[in-house]
Structure 1
């Protein structure tokens, strides 16, 4: 009788899972930062700093979960080529785990992805495969996986199911545990952007599972489809120029996005996201990426409303990744000027919010 190859593959999978778990145990939990708001009296703002993960972003959690999900489902073996569609950060984190397991990794990304992210993928041994638009990533990733006999990780489908939303030190359990000793330990609101929708699903499910009164706000770029889908479920895609804020906002409604878990949506123009990230970076002494700016813009709207009503409480959101990943884009004034992006008005609005607690949109400011 011919010996079955299954035991050797099972042994490799067991070793791979052990390696990922060991990496998890070596990594300290992401810090929870209290953000000073000089002009706000009754509401506290907190940032969970996901840039402290080994690969520098919130997507480290997702990549770890997707690899464990693929391994435990029998989709990933010792010679599997890993393919992913990504705007950059997930690909950086997946390249890290692929190198850990000795697997080839190919990221399928828009050509406009920041040079810093492309360099980080290469640092971890990953390869970059470019497409002309974000909408082309999905089909090209599936084609590559089929032609190479590899596995398409498909974060946009599997993000919401790869993470154990009931606990296991996921981002929700971690955030609420860290806030337990604060003056207002149960946030009135958590503000979160959506790229895959996996993190908003984890937070929304955990809030309901723990029977918490916290509400969930989607912070969404103006060009994204998600806030449109929340308003009208028949809207599942949007045409036009994409958002410049990498990692959140999508042209199509992704399978992992669960709208029923979202209580409200706040939108941000790209200029507002970039301006808010810059203001926050100066205020807390940590470099912040554009998606963190989107979160802050939405959080400011909510906090100002609470303050105006005389409410007391807390609002929590995420510092998704470092602005250093956007040194050649969002942090470059010449890059902004080439695209006709003026952040001066949004910068003034955000500075005013910090100093007075008053938040007005550009239209309201002119009115």
Structure 2
């Protein structure tokens, strides 16, 4: 009789358990991000008459009250790595570890335009594995510096469409793991709850005048955040609509409109972190109630204006979110529909000092912010949306 073969890999489990412990401990040390109320002008409030009894106005008609529309931003820039992608990176690493795809010494590879890679470099450093970010050469120097600060290595390609194939090539060459945010984002996050961003938003709104928001507005990069939010509001049976904003040169909106998931684009988005040249596997269009296309000039102009309103710089993707949120505020005010709207402050505008906040860079991109600034001026003065 042949001898019994035995392959025992139990030794790997101790390292994995410690890696999971390190990530979970890091999460417990990090407080939840703030939900900030944006001060809207007086036009966002109005008076509604009290109830009218069967006898008409009188005592039953008394009790008029002031109502209005409230706007909130979930400030994801306060995560340890400074962006919304910190949540995604934590989920991706836990998912890879618990599936056995990352063990001691496994090089982790990602295809990223910046912020996800910054956060993933942080977690790779935390558990002690190598990290390589495959990205286009146009990624902001501030982001590449943050990746390298956490011990990651930046591997550049010339065209946005090349990042996936290059990440897979490196995975095979190095015996590593392509963590693949664009495929894994919607499945790595527990959309039912377990401290995800949706659960956090609703918990923080619990004592507000309108605890169930009428709209939540987000952009799509991987599509993981919109998938989490859309699934969560359906699972909890909340009367909340999900709007996804999309910048120029992204195929998410055309794909949503045409129901064609095979669409691709030749050029990449100029709004870092959102917009893709292909429909990513994590983009679940069926959970989205409305999509809003946002011109790049509008994203940048709004990022600058919101930075002034909040007293600190916000990034271009936050500008995209806020342009969509402002349009919905105006819609609700015009219809005299009281309620609340929530959107995301994705990252700090300090990362874009040499791009969106640099007039010379804007000129090099042929950006003309004037028309968008006129729309914003009108909105902030009157509540009307003229875009």
**Range class of TM-score, shorter chain:** over 0.9
Cα distance between partner residues in 2 of 1:50 and 1:125: 23
What residue number does 1:364 align with? none
Give 5+ residue unaligned stretches, structure 1: 362-367
Q: For 1:117, which of 136, 143, 146 is the aligned residue?
A: 143
Q: Secondary structure at the match of 1:6?
A: coil
What is the CA deviation profile of residues 18-72 of structure 1, one whole-angstrom value per residue up to 9, with x for unaligned ones? 0000000000101000001114222110000000000000000000000000000
Q: Secondary structure at the match of 2:193?
A: coil
What residue number does 2:11 align with? 8
What residue number does 1:86 align with? 112
Q: Does 283-292 or 81-90 show the bigger shift? A: 283-292
Query: How far off is 1:237 after superposition?
Result: 2.3
Q: For 1:296, which of 307, 322, 330 is the aligned residue?
A: 322
Query: How far off is 1:355 after superposition?
Result: 2.5
What residue number does 1:65 align with? 91
Q: For 1:281, which of 290, 307, 310 is the aligned residue?
A: 307
Q: For 1:77, which of 90, 103, 108 is the aligned residue?
A: 103
Q: Secondary structure at the match of 2:44?
A: coil
What residue number does 1:238 align with? 264
Give TM-score, length-normalised by structure 2.
0.91
The 5 A counterparts of 1:252-291 are 252-291=278-317
Cα distance between partner residues in 1 of 2:223 and 2:157: 22
Cα distance between partner residues in 2 of 1:9 and 1:326: 41
Instruction: Give the count of matched residue pairs.
Output: 361
Q: Secondary structure at the match of 2:135?
A: strand
Query: How far off is 1:4 after superposition?
Result: 5.9
Contact 2:181 / 2:222 at 8 angstroms: preserved in 1?
yes
What residue number does 2:54 align with? none
Query: How far off is 1:227 after superposition?
Result: 0.7
Moved over 4 A (4+): 1-5
The Cα RMSD (Å) is 1.3
The 5 A counterparts of 1:206-245 are 206-234=232-260, 236-245=262-271
Q: For 2:365, which of 331, 336, 339 is the aligned residue?
A: 339
Q: Secondary structure at the match of 1:180?
A: coil
Q: Secondary structure at the match of 2:246?
A: strand
Q: Secondary structure at the match of 2:170?
A: helix
Change (3 A) 1:137 1:290: same
What residue number does 1:50 align with? 76
Query: How far off is 1:240 after superposition?
Result: 4.1
Cα distance between partner residues in 2 of 1:6 and 1:235: 41
Give 5+ residue unaligned stretches, structure 2: 46-67
